[in-house]
Amino acid sequence: MSDPTPGRMTYREACKQAIRDALNRDPNCFVMGEDVGLYGGCYAVTKGLLEEFGPDRIRDTPLAESVIAGAGIGAAIGGMRPIVEIMTCNFSLLALDQIVNNAATIPHMSGGQFAVPVVIRMATGGGRQLAAQHSHSLEGWYAHIPGIKVLAPGTVEDARYMLAAALDDPNPVLIFEHVVLYNEEGTLDPEVTAVDISSAKVRRPGSDLTILAYGGCLPKALEAAGQLAEAGIDAEVVDLRVLRPLDDATIFASVSRTRRCVIVDEGWRSGSLSAEIAARLADDLFFELDAPIRRVCTREVPIPYPAHLEEAALPQTADIVEAARALARPQ
């Protein structure tokens, strides 16, 4: 069943509603992953769906990511519409061969004879004291790979509606859901019933500088923009949300207008998605910039377990404000 009344819900519930709608819409759609059935999902996203749809549609799997991803890819090639859940993006490294060497390449290596319409959902990011093996942000790695789409919903609306568009795509789609967002609440606009998975979105218009962010850093960017406004700095916040392919048009339009840019990325600074965006801005908008591009990234360490060290390692609102204020000073 669909939402009884579109309204306020948590990010977690939005993800569940999206999955429920997908299962009701297409009998070939099913969910598979570790603990998605009896346990209800490690983040409770699939809680109750086993009772509603049964074990043929909600499939618990062994703790073997290569098997989970490989079986999902095979099912997709065979005409099914699998929603594969990998508990955390750190564990997806055990399925790199299946994702990178199979899902991303089979359509090309087969000359278009085979499509791989698999959707792989995984939790990403730190901030929940889950230690290094459960807290890294690896979506930037996957954004490097041709042949897949990489999504990072940072709002309840995107969590609710991106899945349907991903399932309609004939190519593999990876969806990274940030762990700190699951408990966040938002209000769904009843006029919105779908979102695209090809474009970035301006979440807050501004004229003095652009803040580019996505996923779990989006609320921090918006909070930073609010604090900057109190200081008389009008910051525009652009939600990247589609990490591959990047929406250069929206990014360039914003930075061309504000002429200053801060990129917020929970990935490590070296070889990061923020580095790629900064390079594109330097390549194409060098003469439009009035100040250096600034990046706010995770410290180059494994994510610590202690709360104070984890907070110090991850990008925070104060870091974004500091970077933005430095750019907004007269040059």
Picking from 121, 119, 113, 117, the residue whose alpha carbon sits closest to that of residue 171 is 117
Q: Which helix (DSSP H) or strand (DSSP E) does residue 330 occupy?
A: none
Judge whether 308 counts as a catalytic residue: no
Q: Is the predicted pLDDT of residue 50 greater than 80, yes or no? A: yes
- Tell me, yes or no, whether 17 and 159 share the same domain: yes
What is the rounded CA–CA span in Å between residue 205 and residue 258? 10
Count of domains forming the chain: 2
The first and second tokens of residue 311, run together, are 């907070």
- Annotated catalytic residue, options 13, 34, 65, 157: 65
Buried b (16+ CB within 10 A) or exposed e, 11-23: bbbbbbbbbbbbb
The whole domain housing 182 covers 8-187
What is the rounded CA–CA span in Å between residue 141 and residue 276? 11
pLDDT attached to residue 294? 97
pLDDT attached to residue 328? 80
Question: Across residues 209-221, what is the average pLDDT?
Answer: 98
Sorting pLDDT into bands at 50, 70 and 90, what band is 103?
A: very high
Question: Across residues 197-209, what is the average pLDDT?
Answer: 97
85 SS3 class: strand
- Tell me, yes or no, whether 137 and 254 share the same domain: no
pLDDT attached to residue 3? 47
Assigned domain for 196 exists: no
pLDDT attached to residue 6? 53
pLDDT attached to residue 65? 96
Assigned domain for 137 exists: yes
| Strands of the chain, DSSP E | 8-10, 29-33, 58-60, 81-88, 119-124, 149-151, 173-178, 185-187, 201-204, 209-213, 235-239, 242-244, 261-268, 294-298
Judge whether 223 counts as a catalytic residue: no
Assigned domain for 194 exists: no
Picking from 221, 227, 299, the residue whose alpha carbon sits closest to that of residue 263 is 221
- Tell me, yes or no, whether 142 and 266 share the same domain: no
- Tell me, yes or no, whether 35 and 150 share the same domain: yes
- Tell me, yes or no, whether 105 and 214 share the same domain: no
- Tell me, yes or no, whether 59 and 175 share the same domain: yes
Q: What is the pLDDT of residues 297-324, one digit of tens each?
A: 999 999 999 999 999 999 999 999 999 9
Assigned domain for 219 exists: yes
- Tell me, yes or no, whether 183 and 231 share the same domain: no
Question: Across residues 224-241, what is the average pLDDT?
Answer: 97
Assigned domain for 195 exists: no
Assigned domain for 234 exists: yes
pLDDT attached to residue 48? 96
Q: Is the predicted pLDDT of residue 168 greater than 90, yes or no? A: yes
What average pLDDT does the structure give for the chain?
95
Q: What is the pLDDT of residues 261-297, one digit of tens each?
A: 999 999 999 999 999 999 999 999 999 999 999 999 9
- Annotated catalytic residue, options 13, 85, 134, 177: 134
